[in-house]
């Protein structure tokens, strides 16, 4: 039973209240990827780093460094509990039992989050995680969830009991109005939606409220949550695909341009050695979607679906549909996971547009689990707007990691390496926009 949220925030403001309480409080795809890393790249070192894309919000201005340290240290003190490992071992995921090997579960038994490096520069935190990839990768989601929740707490710290009550009442009503629109959408035709909102959520219990509200509101249309702890507790499916870090690390490890060009497809080959069925979802945009699809081996078109993650959703989906058609596959049988900054408006528009043309599934993140805009009693929205924080792999075995994406705002890496990747992959900026 979820406690009264306003009372809880009020009552918990006087002592350390751990944000991450279990290592299962993370995205399911992290476990899928971790098993592959543990099996195929156990000795690779990869550094992850925090990157704040919202220039206007300086985290160190609103988050107390000591509190941040206490939260990060608490997360480092966690171990997987026996019952959690038994659940991971015995539960079926994507219709498959024993998706995790016994050796991997044994590895998890000894797992703890590796050390972190925290410093400050120009009013901003620098947070880095250096070490083995099979350890550092697990920081991404909890680190982001901690920072986002600390920021939300700092905004709520000065609010009184009734202001908090109104804040949550408004946020609940706001979410419910989205649920009502989804109900209409679900009555019109197929709808599949999943919570992807762990990393940028307002808080753990708020995320749970959102998931449970969605479940009551849309029923079967809620296919699950990417959050493993919520999935376990609520008896929901754990949902996951794969992330940019895989091609980013493989690319950084490439010894020459030819190997670099092949790296995104080597990732797919390795992934398909471990997983099949609905877990074969292409992530085409790491170094640009158009060139990825053009260069992709024909067998890639046999994968179950794709997750376009940086073009506007309809354009991204249309490009995939054209590609499957050109490769002689039926797009109507393919799964398209839309997950980049989805809002209720873009969900409605893309689901309606794509109905009957492909199987669409929505991964709903920030706009599900951290939308308090217009809910603050004094109207100071800026304090509750989630900053665009990411925690990305930045260095691999001493070499810089690069992400291009279809959206230049998401580029990562040193300028000269970005230029090299653009050349090697034949990156085509904005080609899709002119279509």
Ligand X SMILES: O=P(O)(O)OC[C@H]1O[C@H](OP(=O)(O)OP(=O)(O)O)[C@H](O)[C@@H]1O
Ligand Y SMILES: O=C(O)c1cccnc1
Ligand Z SMILES: Nc1ncnc2c1ncn2[C@@H]1O[C@H](COP(=O)(O)OP(=O)(O)OP(=O)(O)O)[C@@H](O)[C@H]1O
Which parts of this chain interact with ligand Y (CB under 6 A)? 27, 29, 196, 226, 240-241, 307, 339, 363, 365
Is the CB of 136 or the CB of 164 nearer to ligand Y? 136
Which of ligand X, ligand Z, ligand Y, none does residue 27 bind to, with CB < 5 to 8 Å depending on kind? ligand Y
Which of ligand Y, ligand Z, ligand X, none does residue 369 bind to, with CB < 5 to 8 Å depending on kind? none
**Minimum CB separation from ligand Y for residue 310, in Å?**
12
Is the CB of 29 or the CB of 303 nearer to ligand Y? 29
Which of ligand X, ligand Y, ligand Z, none does residue 29 bind to, with CB < 5 to 8 Å depending on kind? ligand Y
Is the CB of 281 or the CB of 375 nearer to ligand Y? 281
Is the CB of 17 or the CB of 395 nearer to ligand Z? 17
Contact at 8 Å (CB) between 195 and 210?
Answer: yes
H or E segment at 52?
strand 46-52
Number of residues that bind ligand Z (CB under 6 A): 9
The tokens for 333 are 């049988």
Which of ligand X, ligand Z, ligand Y, none does residue 200 bind to, with CB < 5 to 8 Å depending on kind? ligand X
Contact at 8 Å (CB) between 211 and 234?
Answer: yes
How far CA 411 is from CA of 214, 242, 284, 389, in Å, comes to: 33, 19, 15, 14
Which of 21, 161, 325, 352 binds ligand Z (CB under 6 A)? It is: 21
**Minimum CB separation from ligand Y for residue 243, in Å?**
6
Which of 9, 10, 23, 25 binds ligand Z (CB under 6 A)? It is: 25
Is the CB of 159 or the CB of 418 nearer to ligand X? 418
Contact at 8 Å (CB) between 309 and 147?
Answer: no
The tokens for 183 are 């109900």
Is the CB of 154 or the CB of 346 nearer to ligand Z? 154
Give the Cα separation of 415 and 167 in Å (integer): 43
> Smallest Cα–Cα separation from 282: which of 273, 291, 292, 274?
292
**Minimum CB separation from ligand Z for residue 90, in Å?**
21
Is the CB of 408 or the CB of 414 nearer to ligand X? 408
Give the Cα separation of 266 and 286 in Å (integer): 14
Q: Is 6 in the site for ligand Z (CB under 6 A)?
A: no
- 184: Cβ–Cβ under 8 A, 6 or more apart, which residues? none
Sign of CA dihedral 401, 335, 344, 9: negative
Which of 31, 93, 204, 292 binds ligand Z (CB under 6 A)? It is: 204
Is the CB of 316 or the CB of 365 nearer to ligand Y? 365
Is 223 exposed, middle or buried, given 0-12, 13-18 or 19+ CB atoms closer than 10 A?
A: middle
Which of ligand Z, ligand X, ligand Y, none does residue 393 bind to, with CB < 5 to 8 Å depending on kind? none
> Smallest Cα–Cα separation from 405: which of 413, 416, 396?
413
Helix (H, G, I), strand (E, B) or coil at 118: strand
Is 115 exposed, middle or buried, given 0-12, 13-18 or 19+ CB atoms closer than 10 A?
A: middle
Is the CB of 226 or the CB of 310 nearer to ligand Y? 226
**Rounded to the nearest 5 degrees, what angle is found at the Cα of 225, between the Cα atoms of 299 and 128?**
80
Which of ligand Y, ligand Z, ligand X, none does residue 240 bind to, with CB < 5 to 8 Å depending on kind? ligand Y
Where on the chain is the footprint of ligand X (CB under 6 A)?
A: 196, 199-200, 309, 339-342, 365-367, 390, 410
**Minimum CB separation from ligand Z for residue 3, in Å?**
5
Which of ligand Z, ligand X, ligand Y, none does residue 355 bind to, with CB < 5 to 8 Å depending on kind? none
Give the Cα separation of 19 and 244 in Å (integer): 26
Q: Is 235 in the site for ligand Z (CB under 6 A)?
A: no
Q: Is 205 in the site for ligand Z (CB under 6 A)?
A: yes
Give the Cα separation of 259 and 250 in Å (integer): 9
How far CA 345 is from CA of 147, 181, 218, 363, in Å, comes to: 27, 9, 17, 14
The tokens for 243 are 């992330």
Is the CB of 339 or the CB of 370 nearer to ligand Y? 339
Q: Is 335 in the site for ligand Z (CB under 6 A)?
A: no
Q: Is 19 in the site for ligand Z (CB under 6 A)?
A: yes
**Minimum CB separation from ligand Y for residue 365, in Å?**
6
CB-facing half-sphere around the CA of 339: CA atoms within 13 A? 26
CB-facing half-sphere around the CA of 396: CA atoms within 13 A? 24
Which of ligand X, ligand Z, ligand Y, none does residue 21 bind to, with CB < 5 to 8 Å depending on kind? ligand Z
Which residues are near ligand Z by CB under 6 A? 3, 8, 17, 19, 21-22, 25, 204-205
């Amino acid at each position: 039973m979820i406690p009264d949220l306003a009372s809880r925030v009020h009552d918990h403001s006087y002592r350390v209240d751990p944000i991450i309480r279990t290592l299962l409080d993370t995205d399911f795809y992290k476990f899928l990827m971790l098993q592959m890393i543990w099996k195929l790249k156990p000795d690779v070192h990869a550094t992850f780093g925090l990157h704040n894309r919202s220039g206007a919000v300086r985290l160190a201005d609103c988050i107390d460094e000591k509190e941040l340290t206490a939260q990060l240290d608490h997360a480092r003190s966690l171990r997987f509990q026996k019952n959690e490992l038994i659940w991971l071992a015995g539960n079926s995921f994507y219709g498959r039992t024993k998706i995790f090997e016994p050796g991997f579960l044994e590895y998890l038994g000894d797992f703890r989050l590796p050390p972190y490096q925290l410093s400050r520069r120009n009013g901003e935190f620098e947070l880095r995680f250096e070490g083995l990839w099979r350890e550092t990768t697990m920081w991404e989601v909890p680190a982001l969830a901690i920072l986002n929740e600390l920021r939300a707490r700092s905004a709520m710290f000065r609010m009184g009991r009734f202001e908090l009550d109104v804040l949550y009442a408004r946020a609940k009503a706001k979410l419910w109005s989205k649920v009502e629109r989804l109900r209409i959408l679900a009555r019109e035709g197929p709808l599949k939606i999943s919570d992807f909102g762990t990393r940028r959520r307002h808080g753990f219990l708020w995320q749970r409220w959102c998931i449970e509200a969605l479940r009551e509101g849309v029923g079967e249309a809620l296919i699950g949550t990417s959050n493993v702890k919520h999935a376990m507790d609520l008896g929901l499916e754990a949902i996951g695909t794969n992330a940019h870090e895989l091609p980013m690390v493989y690319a950084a490890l490439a010894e020459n341009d030819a190997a670099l060009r092949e790296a995104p497809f080597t990732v797919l080959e390795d992934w398909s050695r471990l997983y099949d069925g609905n877990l074969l979802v292409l992530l085409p945009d790491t170094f640009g979607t158009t060139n990825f699809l053009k260069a992709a081996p024909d067998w890639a078109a046999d994968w179950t679906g794709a997750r376009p993650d940086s073009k506007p959703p309809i354009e991204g989906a249309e490009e995939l549909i054209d590609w499957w058609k050109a490769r002689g596959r039926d797009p109507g049988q393919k799964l398209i996971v839309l997950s980049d900054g989805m809002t209720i408006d873009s969900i409605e528009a893309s689901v309606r547009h794509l109905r009957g043309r492909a199987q669409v599934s929505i991964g709903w993140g920030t706009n599900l689990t951290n939308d308090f805009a217009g809910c603050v009693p004094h109207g100071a929205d800026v304090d509750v707007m989630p900053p665009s924080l990411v925690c990305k792999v930045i260095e691999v075995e001493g070499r810089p990691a690069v992400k291009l994406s279809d959206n230049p705002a998401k580029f990562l890496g040193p300028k000269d390496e970005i230029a090299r990747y653009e050349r090697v992959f034949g990156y085509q900026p904005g080609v899709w926009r002119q279509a």
